């Protein structure tokens, strides 16, 4: 951890009691700040408040009182998910109070080698693969943190100048990270996400590009080269551009040609040996390979990771094989695009478990993918009728079930050796489960109960 004094004696407001907010509040106390912590919800767990107060932190819960804007705070550390049109945040913006996220605080105290990953899809898998690859050859610590569910600043506290940290950074985090400066930055792709937050696609792109804002020609921007738009976006960076591509050959980076992955013209490994399935995971692997090679990782280390890693939990995660059926948990697929990608990854017949929160849209876009990849569907949740309509349009047999748990034995009855049983809901979980993680965990438990085996 780097010693800094810029918070000594400063009055700081931390907004939001998520993992990152709580860690930031405690860290700021260590850095000499006078800290107030605020959350609009009063935590059910009193230990959270007790721990903060025991550290000398003033705690305000149950509201974001606008009066806080008049208390002379020097800095606001905002939970990334709180929008800038929140009345209290907007008041701080109007008066010019600096507003940062915990990622910025983590960067300020970090004293090692930083690799950062952003993008619309594939961030978590790319972050994990990159960390695993670099760790294979490393003589010092290699950790990951950030939007992957682990506080950046908490991990940064325990790392030294020879250590490496691979961070997943969302557009929300990057908006509040004005000085962050990774030596290697990765942009996996950019689609049109979170426009309710960013308002326009250009705002969203600009937020993503904050990952490379402070880079120089001595740093590297690893970026997807499969679309003209992304190639043009790369021109807005001062870093040395390192492309990765599944579709276009480029000797400046990593690419695929005739089923073989290359790094700057040298063979690395066949794509068929990657344990993760689907074209999207080839792209994730290419991005991670580029960052790993720039970090001095050997091909053997890269091959070891890519031939053994079975996926991030809930993200097209391989669960097990039982009686020649393959089970996959893709509970993180909470939108149509993610389920499209998941289905394209299989060349076996798929029994699809899908449904969830009704957000008002229909599923005609999935009909071509159902026709090509799906042999039967089990649908559930608020939108099951709309999902059933799409299945009927595709001519796929559809059965209704109560939820993702009860759907497992129903799918088993329909399956034959060689089939894939895939949970890829295309919808959020909140109609029946508190999160996609809980939905995925319950699905895995149902598979384990059915088969009598533990997930692999």
CA separation for the pair 240, 433 (Å, rounded): 44
Helices (H), 55-138: 87-95, 102-109, 123-137
CA separation for the pair 279, 256 (Å, rounded): 11
Cβ partners under 8 Å of residue 75, min gap 6? 7, 10, 11, 12, 13, 97, 98, 99, 100
372 annotated to a ligand binding site: no
Chain-centroid distance, C-alpha 109: 23
Could you tell me which of 440, 454, 358, 450 has the C-alpha nearest to residue 410?
Answer: 450
Cβ partners under 8 Å of residue 45, min gap 6? none
Taking CA atoms, 405 is separated from 311, 381, 412, 440, in Å, by 21, 11, 12, 9
CA separation for the pair 44, 22 (Å, rounded): 15
121 annotated to a ligand binding site: yes
CA separation for the pair 247, 265 (Å, rounded): 15
122 annotated to a ligand binding site: yes
Taking CA atoms, 171 is separated from 64, 177, 204, 211, 302, in Å, by 23, 10, 7, 9, 28
Cβ atoms of 172 and 81 within 8 Å: the answer is yes
214 annotated to a ligand binding site: no
112 annotated to a ligand binding site: no
Tokens of 91: 């008041």
429 annotated to a ligand binding site: no
381 annotated to a ligand binding site: no
Coarse DSSP helix, strand, coil percentages of the chain, rounded to the nearest 5 percent: 40, 20, 40
Could you tell me which of 256, 282, 279, 118 has the C-alpha nearest to residue 191?
Answer: 118
CA separation for the pair 75, 97 (Å, rounded): 6
Beta-carbon count within 10 A of 447 CB: 26
Q: Which residues are annotated as a binding site?
A: 119-125
Q: Which residues are annotated as a binding site for ATP?
A: 119-125
């Amino acid at each position: 951890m780097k010693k800094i004094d810029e918070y000594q004696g400063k009055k700081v407001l931390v907004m939001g009691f998520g993992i990152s907010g709580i860690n930031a509040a405690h860290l700021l106390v260590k850095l000499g700040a006078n800290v107030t912590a605020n959350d609009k919800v009063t935590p059910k767990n009193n230990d959270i408040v007790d721990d903060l107060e025991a550290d000398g932190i003033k705690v305000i819960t149950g509201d974001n009182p606008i009066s806080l804007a008049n208390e002379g705070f020097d800095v606001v550390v905002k939970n990334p998910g709180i929008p800038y049109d929140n009345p209290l945040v907007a008041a701080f913006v109007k008066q010019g109070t600096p507003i940062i996220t915990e990622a910025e605080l983590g960067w300020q105290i970090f004293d090692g080698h930083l690799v950062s990953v952003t993008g619309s899809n594939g961030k978590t898998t790319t972050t994990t693969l990159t960390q695993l690859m670099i760790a294979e050859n490393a003589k010092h610590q290699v950790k990951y943190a950030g939007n992957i569910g682990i506080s950046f600043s908490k991990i940064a506290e325990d790392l030294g100048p020879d250590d490496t940290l691979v961070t997943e950074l969302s557009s929300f985090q990057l908006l509040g990270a004005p000085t962050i400066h990774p030596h290697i930055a990765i942009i996996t792709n950019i689609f049109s996400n979170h426009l309710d937050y960013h308002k326009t696609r250009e705002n969203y792109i600009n937020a993503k590009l904050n990952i490379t804002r402070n880079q120089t020609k001595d740093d590297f921007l690893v970026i997807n080269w499969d679309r003209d738009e992304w190639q043009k976006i790369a021109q807005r960076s001062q870093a040395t551009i390192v492309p990765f591509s599944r579709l276009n050959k480029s000797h400046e980076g990593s690419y695929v040609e005739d089923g073989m992955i290359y790094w700057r013209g040298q063979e690395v490994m066949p794509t068929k040996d990657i344990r993760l399935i689907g074209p999207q995971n080839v792209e994730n692997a290419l991005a991670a390979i580029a960052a790993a090679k720039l970090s001095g990782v050997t091909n053997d280390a890269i091959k070891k990771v890519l031939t053994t890693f079975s996926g991030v939990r809930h993200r097209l995660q391989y669960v097990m094989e039982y009686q020649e059926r393959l089970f996959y948990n893709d509970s993180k697929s909470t939108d149509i695009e993610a389920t499209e990608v998941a289905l394209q990854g299989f060349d076996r017949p798929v029994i699809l478990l899908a449904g969830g929160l009704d957000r008002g849209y229909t599923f005609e876009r999935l009909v071509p993918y159902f026709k090509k990849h799906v042999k039967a569907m089990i649908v559930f949740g608020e939108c099951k009728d709309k999902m059933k309509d799409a299945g009927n349009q595709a001519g796929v047999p559809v059965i209704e079930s109560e939820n993702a748990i009860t759907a497992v034995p129903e799918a088993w009855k329909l399956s034959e050796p060689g089939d894939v049983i895939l949970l890829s809901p295309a919808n959020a979980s909140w109609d029946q489960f508190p999160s996609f993680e809980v939905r995925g965990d319950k699905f895995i438990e149902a598979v384990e109960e059915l088969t009598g085996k533990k997930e692999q």
